[in-house]
Structure 1
Amino acid sequence: MRFGEINKVLGDISQKMLTSTLRLLEADGIVSRKMYAEIPPRVEYELTELGRDLLPNIRNLIAWGHKNIEVIQRNRESFKKNI
């Protein structure tokens, strides 16, 4: 995916934070970055084998979050009232 596509899918993230995160994921070997010598320059990101191996765990975490979001929100509200 191109940077702009990733930004659009994620929604509420600053360009600086997305750039920083993508660089860390690239350094960890989770994504690969390919630059094209075009005008304007084009950069695409892709999951590596390591990144694809991580996907089932991320999907499980997302499912857990959906299952528990109401409890988490109630806990946050309760916490806010006690501080």
Structure 2
Amino acid sequence: MEWMSWTVPTAAFFAVIGLILVGMTVWELSSPSVLRRGLLPIATTRGDRLFIGLLGSAYLHLLVIGVTDWSIWVASALSLVWLLAVMRWG
């Protein structure tokens, strides 16, 4: 049986996602969010925008890698910009 080989970038990625979730939990407990409308066509809370942003970032990253010959770092940067835009204005 082969086991998955964890690399440092993979471990760092999941560690950052975990820290984001812990940070959002603490933020929500200390200051509950309210529904608001932004660029997204639905009313969302901070948690909703985080979920939508992470999901959209994953798909954007895969799209850029799949249809362009751009560097993985460019795809990562675009995904991060998308996530931050959704969190700020979504």
User: Normalising to structure 2: TM-score of the pair?
Assistant: 0.26
Greater relative CO, 1 or 2 (CA 8 Å, sep 6+) = 2
Higher strand share: 1
